[in-house]
A and B are shown apart, each in its own frame.
Chain A
Amino acid sequence: MDNTATPVVQHTERPLSPHLGIYKWQLTMTLSILHRATGIALAVGTILLAWLLIALAAGADSYRTIHMFCISPVGLFLLAGWTWALFFHLCNGIRHLVWDVGWGFEIPRAYATGWTVVVASFVLTIAVWMLALSGGAA
């Protein structure tokens, strides 16, 4: 008899907690998922940050390379995504910290702060890009 099979069978016979598929869409759960997704995206974005700083230290040629990447269509798309991800994670992170001190758990309040985070993340992203693009030669 295969000993290793026994615990696996026991695991699958246990009741499972309800998973994503059976819930109807809710703002709160979407924001929770997005907090993780933007966190992962921003962690990847730290590579660009390290690249930028290293290029700045390495010389004008290296800096030109990363500059060309940033103003390429792919670069601009990624930068726009990272800008929004940064502001979303910042705003929703503040929302989480406010929860940590015990405020805002009531359902209506959780929705109000949630929508505030969504609106703020887009407004701040647009504001930053307007400021970045308004100066002319980028």
Chain B
Amino acid sequence: MSAGSRQADLQTPLKRVRGWGSSKSGTHHFIVQRITAVALIPLVIWFVWFVIGLSHADYANARQMLHQPIQALLMIVFVASAFWHAQLGLQVVIEDYVHTRWLELTSQLLVKFLCVLGALASIMAVVKVALA
């Protein structure tokens, strides 16, 4: 690209950098990653306690555990936070290491779709058990 063609665009340097890199939405990503991280500290502790309970439970007991409204609610909040946090983290990993444009775009979309799908499927399952 030559200087001449840039001038022909009639774009200021500011116009060219807007919408790229850190001027896009980096701070928002950073903040949401931290919010989900903070939320996940107590939620992970609850989740570990819940899974230890599951390890001692048969099928009926396991369903009964998740049937309690408080447990179901915490599981939904945990699942939503975990998948959200995972998507944000994987996004950064892909941005850092995948430099082939089509592959980067494809994997970013795939991760987003799978995280939304996984979160919604999990939440549906919890609701089904909770309302049964």
Contact = CB atoms under 8 A, between A and B. Distances in A.
Interface in A43-59: 43, 46-47, 49-50, 53-54, 56-58
A50 B122 contact: yes
A89 to B, nearest CB: 9
Interface stretch (A14-22, A24-32, A34-42, A107-115): A34-42
Interface string B57-68: 001001100100
Interface stretch (B11-19, B21-29, B85-93, B102-110): B85-93
A40 B107 CA distance: 14
Interface string B36-53: 011011001000100110
A36 B93 contact: yes
A138 interface: yes
Given A100-B34, A138-B56, A53 B126 contact: yes
A54 B121 CA distance: 7
A27 to B, nearest CB: 22
Nearest to B54: A52
A42 B48 CA distance: 14
A57 B125 contact: yes
B6 interface: no
Interface residues of A, number: 32
Contacts of A58: 125
B41 A94 contact: yes
A121 to B, nearest CB: 12
A138 B56 CA distance: 5
A56 B123 CA distance: 12
A49 B82 contact: yes
Contact of B37 (A46, A97, A133): A97
Contacts of B83: 46
Interface in B104-131: 115, 118, 121-122, 124-126, 128-129
A135 B122 contact: no
Given A39-B93, A58-B125, 8 more contacts: A43-B89, A47-B118, A50-B121, A56-B59, A63-B59, A94-B41, A136-B56, A138-B56
7 contacts: A43-B86, A50-B79, A57-B126, A93-B37, A100-B34, A133-B55, A137-B56
